[in-house]
Amino acid sequence: MQRTLTIANYTGMLLIVAGLLLHLNESSLGFWLLTAGLVPVLGLRSYNLVVAKEDQRRQHLLLLISALALVATAAAIWYNRSYWVLFIAIAAVLDLYLSFRFRQ
């Protein structure tokens, strides 16, 4: 079960990166890849928040906020706004912070 969730998360993140790169190259497929990648990432981060231990809920909440920043990115891209980069930066900073914050 854990291996399947990990593969789904990595697949979603790969689709998000591919979608952003295609969007930077002005391809309309980029938005759809980004949206397809958001589905497993948002779902898994919501699931992890629900099943997290009490001492890790704060970190999982920040991961969920990071996923919501990616949803805001998709919305900004859909409406052709240039500030979608800010939402990507917020998600990246939160993910980077939490990659050092989680205990193994």
Binning pLDDT at 50, 70 and 90, where does residue 56 land? confident
Q: What are the residue boundaries of the structural domains of the chain, listed by start?
A: 2-101
Mean pLDDT of the region 42-65: 92
Assign 3-class secondary structure to the chain. CHHHHHHHHHHHHHHHHHHHHHHHCCCCHHHHHHHHHHHHHHHHHHHHHHHCCHHHHHHHHHHHHHHHHHHHHHHHHHCCCCCHHHHHHHHHHHHHHHHHHCCC
pLDDT score of 104 more than 60: no
pLDDT digits 0-9 by tens, 68-88: 999 999 999 999 999 999 999
pLDDT digits 0-9 by tens, 27-53: 889 999 999 999 999 999 999 999 989
Q: What is the pTM of this model?
A: 0.90
